[in-house]
Every structure is written in C-alpha cells, then in structure tokens.
C-alpha cells in the first residue's frame, strides 16, 4: 500500500515489480499518470479492511463505526502507529528523499486471522 506522494510513475512500476501495489494520489502527485490514482481507497486483505487516505485530516468517516480494521495514511511523512477504538492508524513515513528532519522509513503490516500488527522500519535515522 502506498499512501500517496508517489512522485513519479516509475516508483509504482518499481514497487509493482516487487509485489502487488495499491496506491492513492498524494498532494505532490500531478499529471495524467497521477489522475489515474484514487484520492482514497479501500483494500480487503485476509478478511481485514484497510482505509487508505493521504491526509488523515481529510478523514470523512468514523473508521470504527464503518468497521475498518486500519487506516493507512501519509502526507505528514511522520512515522506513526497507534490504535484508537480498536482501529490501527498507521503512517509508515517516507522512503524517498528525506523530508524536513524526519527519518527515512517504511512500514510493515502483518495480518493474521485475529489481528493486525504494525512496524515502522527506519532506513536512515
């Protein structure tokens, strides 16, 4: 899952060569290639439902009431993982060029029949 700010279509091509990739459009994603990306998306994996949105401030629903298991978001590039009302809120940070003074990081989500676990992996501190 890519929560936006892809930057260029080659990034999606490279990620797609590694694994199936689901991406949404971020505020820096411009042009005809980015127009094909949704603003937000829903992904079901192993009977768990993920709501993917770029900016968490644009969240237009109650994820717990809508029975989502996780909300994946980006925009701030600040790695973050917490649970609220039984829903995982997860921002993996940014694996691209360092932004501000934030770490360069990716996220890992493990899904089992009973739970979702998240991990932030710092590539450059």
> Which of 35, 43, 33, 37 minimizes the C-alpha distance to 4?
37
pTM: 0.92
Average pLDDT over residues 104-118: 93
Percentage of residues in the chain with pLDDT exceeding 70? Answer: 99
**Rounded Cα–Cα distance for residues 86 and 79 (Å):** 19
Averaged pLDDT of the chain: 94
Q: Residue 20: what pLDDT?
A: 93
26: pLDDT strictly greater than 90: yes
**Tens digits of residue pLDDT in 43-61:** 999 999 999 999 999 999 9
Beta bridge partners of residue 2, listed in sequence order? 23
**Rounded Cα–Cα distance for residues 30 and 43 (Å):** 23
**Rounded Cα–Cα distance for residues 109 and 119 (Å):** 6
The CATH code of the domain at 9-124 is 3.60.21.10
């Amino acid at each position: 899952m890519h929560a936006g700010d892809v930057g260029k279509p080659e990034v999606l091509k490279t990620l797609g060569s590694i694994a199936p990739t689901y991406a949404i459009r971020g505020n820096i994603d411009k042009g005809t290639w980015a127009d094909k990306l949704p603003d937000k998306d829903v992904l079901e994996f192993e009977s768990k439902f993920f709501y993917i949105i770029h900016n968490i401030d644009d969240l237009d629903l109650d994820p717990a009431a809508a029975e989502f298991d996780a909300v994946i978001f980006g925009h701030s590039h600040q790695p973050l993982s917490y649970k609220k009302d039984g829903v995982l809120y997860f921002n993996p940070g940014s694996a691209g060029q360092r932004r501000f003074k934030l770490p360069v990081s990716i996220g890992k989500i493990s899904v089992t029949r009973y739970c979702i676990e998240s991990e932030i992996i710092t590539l450059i501190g």
